[in-house]
Structures are given as C-alpha cells and as structure tokens.
Structure 1
Amino acid sequence: MSERTTIALLGYGKMGKEVERLTESQQCEIGAIYDPSLEGKHAELGALQAASFDVFIDFSTPNSAVKNIELAASLGKNIAVGTTGWYDKLPDVERIVRESGIGCIYAQNFSVGIFLFKQLVAHAAKLFNAHDQYDVTLHEVHHRKKLDAPSGTAHTLADTIVGNIDRKSSYQYGIPEEGEPKEETLYVSSQRTGSVPGTHSVVFDSIVDSIELTHTARSRGGLALGALLAAKWIQGKQGLYTIEDMLNG
C-alpha cells in the first residue's frame, strides 16, 4: 500500500470541504484545517503550527493566498495553491519560495479537464489564425460567491488565444462603453449566477457560422482531485511550479 499524504487545508469553504471529502480516495488524510473566518480550533494559528502534516493545500481568498504561502515558508512546508486573484503578487511569491527553499505549485484551475481544454483551445486558435473572417470571444460563468472576475482560467485561456491568433494583440475584460470594439482586441465577459461550478466558452464566429468550444464543470470535484494530485506531486521539490510543469513533466 502506498504511503498516505497528510494535508493541512488553508481555507475551509466549498473547495476546502470538497478536498476533504475526496482525500480518502486519493490515499490522503486531513491533518489540520486553518481558516481565520471560522470559530474554534480551526481559526487558531497555534493549533495549525502544532499539527503534524506533510503539505498544504490553499483554497482561501485572493487577499489571503500570499500570506498563506509566507506561512508555509515559515514552517518549511510545501504548498499547492488553488486560490486565484493574487497573481499581481507573483514576484513576491517567487522571492518567498526562493529564499525559503520550499516548493510551491499554483494553478488558475487544477482540473485536468481544463488543462486539456486549454490545449484544445490553443490548437483551435492556431487553425483559425489563417481565417480572419472569424472573430473570437471568451465567456465564463461561475457561482455568485466567486470573488474574482474574470476567472483565473479565463485569463489563461485569453493568453492562449492571443498568443496563437496574430490579429488579436491583447485582451480586455468587458466591452467599451462607447465606440466600436477593436478588431485586434479579444473581449472577455463573465456571468455570476446561482451555484454554477464553472463554465468556459470560446466562440469563433463568422457571418455564415459559429463554432463553440465549451468546458463545463459538473462539480468542484475536478478541482479538488487535481489539487490533491498537485499536493502529492510537490512533495520533495523546491521552487515555483505550475500545473503545466506537473502534467507535461
């Protein structure tokens, strides 16, 4: 039997609970939970510091993610970060990881399906690069409680499209309030409604037809399973990694 991995959860919202639910199926167990928004022992930093565990998984908030990476560094523990919305602080995280010697893997989306979807979008964008009669747009839908928009996954997909279609030089969230949209700009839109786990659609549209690629998450399970896989993968490593490093390696 393979050795079990003991996880410390940072953040105990819907994603944290989903990770907890799936630990047993992935030969993992929960050794600690830390979420300052809770009451009782799960809100006590001292209880976390005294706990025995192998690696952190972070599904907290954009404002907490970098602090949690600093916490992992102070304890000499590696960390898998599934929280998005903090990437403007990436240079700080690179420094923290380098100076502490820990390993950190982060992803806009830990779902293996989304990783494969990104590859499909990249291939499609290369095909449509030669057919300028098609415009392209990107739309994402998530539950009402998601804190960042557009999603981290949408940012990644937008970078992928712009990187493979020469006539798109940049992307923009939302359309201009005045004036005609620019042909060289990829426009990204969002919707927040109900309890949707996550849907991302890329549409290639022309006068005569429309071609749509869509990834629809049926639950948060794909994210949680990917995060557990990442937590096991990052053990024993030093440096900063992405899901591409894990799945392409």
Structure 2
Amino acid sequence: MNILLLGYGKMGRAIEAIAIERGHNIVGKINENNLNDIKKHNSTNTDVAIEFSQPDAAFDNIKYCIDNGIPALSGTTGWLDKKANIETLCKQKEGTFFYASNYSIGVNLFFKLNEQLATLMKAFDEYNVDIEEIHHTEKKDAPSGTAITLAEGILKHATGKKQWINKPYGSKEDLVINSIREDKVPGTHTIKYSSAVDDIEIKHTAHSREGFAKGAVMVAEWLKDKKGILDMKDFLKL
C-alpha cells in the first residue's frame, strides 16, 4: 500500500517505521518545510494519507486529500472547530475521512469502559467526577483530544454536569479537565469519581507512541477501500 504521511514529527516517524515493517511504501513525507510537495500526490499514486500534523495545517491537508480522491485519516487535535466543514466536503465529494482523537486500541477500549462506568454512576449523585490528563511538554494543545473524548462520553450520561472546562477546579456543574505537562510522558488519562466515603478511578497509561502509531497503520490498512465518514467505533465494531 502506498501511504502519504502528512506531518513528519515524532508520531510521523513512528508511523513510518511500523508501516515499513508491515510491508507498506511511504510515497511522501510532508512537513512545514515542503508543503508544496503534497501536490505531487493524488488517487493514482497514493492509497491513503495518514495525517498527524499541527492544528493550523490539518484542515488544508485533509481538504487536499478529499479534493484529490485520497482516503484520509487524521489524529491531529486542536482543529476540530472545522471538522464539520470537512465532513460536509467528504459527503459532497463521496470521499473517505476517518478521524480519531487517539488511535491506540487500548485507549479506545478505555473510551468504551468510560461510558459504561458513567452509565453506572448516573444513579449516584454523591460522587463528583473529574479528569486528569498528563502529556509531554511538547504537546501544543490542552486539553488533549483524548481527554475531550472522555469528557464527551461522561457528559452523554452524567446528570448535573453541563459542560467540561480546562481548569484544575470548577463549579458543581462543570466537568473539570486538569491538564498537566511533564517531560517525556506519552499520555496518561485518569477518570476519578470522588465521594466523602471513597473514590473510584479508571486510568489509561501509554508507555510509548508505538500503540498510537500501530493503531493508525492498522486503520489505514482497513480504510483503503472504504467510503464515507468513519471513526474507531466503525473500525473496532464497538
């Protein structure tokens, strides 16, 4: 399979290594230094694009792919205010667009567990829920896309919570996401339900980028012949 990498930072290089190991060909590596090289790629020479760039580049990268018939999957966070525009374009062009805030298989199972726990806790209003996310100091957006997905899963089921906020504390109606940045932390997310008598926690800890990168390549393999707007629930059949 011919794969175009849009974004070639640490995540892009991790994806490249796994893709080559799995027998795929990297036909291009686009970053801020060679943006015009994306124009060399279209549906005749590229099977799928994997987009892990920067928030200010993601929209244009994905739009180019859809306009030129290249199935695109993205894991870039911080640009989702424009995601609806991409989905509209994808429908108009009958293209292929896959988005996930996190491609780790383990994290996506964690998303499902989070929603199941939120459903159970709905009847017990003596518990307050909050989220803590810890990432490396190079991460440019806060909260993480993974933390936002977790918050949305909780808000779907929780009573009394109106919205998430990215602060260490808030009102009773706020679902607090506390974002911490520490050196060399791939990603740790903790959901904590607290009461006067006990706490209940679930946590996902990533040990490296490998889980994210392998998941992205596995999705790319699956996505090649698909059409429409898809996500990890489609891939994992959750």
1:132 aligns with 2:125: yes
Shift of 1:149: 0.6
1:192-213 CA-partner distances (Å, limit 9, x unpaired):
1112111100011111222211
For residue 173 of structure 1, what is the aligned residue in structure 2?
166
C-alpha distance in 1, partners of 2:155/2:88? Answer: 29
C-alpha distance in 1, partners of 2:4/2:158? Answer: 42
Match of 1:164, SS?
Answer: coil
For residue 234 of structure 1, what is the aligned residue in structure 2?
223
C-alpha distance in 2, partners of 1:26/1:147? Answer: 30
Contact 1:32 1:53 in 2 (8 A): no
Contact 1:138 1:202 in 2 (8 A): yes
- Segments of structure 2 that go 5 or more residues without pairing to the other structure are none
State the identity %: 37
Give RMSD over aligned pairs. Answer: 1.8
TM (norm. structure 1) is 0.89
For residue 147 of structure 2, what is the aligned residue in structure 1?
154
For residue 14 of structure 1, what is the aligned residue in structure 2?
10
The change in CA–CA distance for 1:155 and 1:73 in structure 2 (over 3 A counts) is same
C-alpha distance in 2, partners of 1:154/1:240? Answer: 22
Contact 1:63 1:86 in 2 (8 A): yes
- Segments of structure 1 that go 5 or more residues without pairing to the other structure are none
Shift of 1:140: 0.4
Larger radius of gyration: 1
Match of 1:245, SS?
Answer: helix
User: Which region of structure 1 is more displaced relative to structure 2, 110-119 or 204-213?
Assistant: 204-213
For residue 49 of structure 1, what is the aligned residue in structure 2?
41
Shift of 1:71: 1.3
Contact 1:33 1:48 in 2 (8 A): no
Contact 2:114 2:154 in 1 (8 A): yes
For residue 73 of structure 1, what is the aligned residue in structure 2?
66
TM (norm. structure 2) is 0.93
C-alpha distance in 2, partners of 1:216/1:29? Answer: 31
Map 1:181-192 → 2, pairs under 5 A? 181-192=170-181
Contact 1:34 1:48 in 2 (8 A): no
User: Which region of structure 1 is more displaced relative to structure 2, 20-29 or 85-94?
Assistant: 20-29
Letter in 2 for 1:13: G
For residue 199 of structure 1, what is the aligned residue in structure 2?
188
For residue 20 of structure 2, what is the aligned residue in structure 1?
24
Shift of 1:74: 3.0
C-alpha distance in 1, partners of 2:104/2:2? Answer: 21
1:90 aligns with 2:83: yes
Shift of 1:47: 7.1
Shift of 1:237: 2.0
Match of 1:182, SS?
Answer: coil
For residue 222 of structure 1, what is the aligned residue in structure 2?
211
C-alpha distance in 1, partners of 2:27/2:55? Answer: 23
For residue 201 of structure 2, what is the aligned residue in structure 1?
212
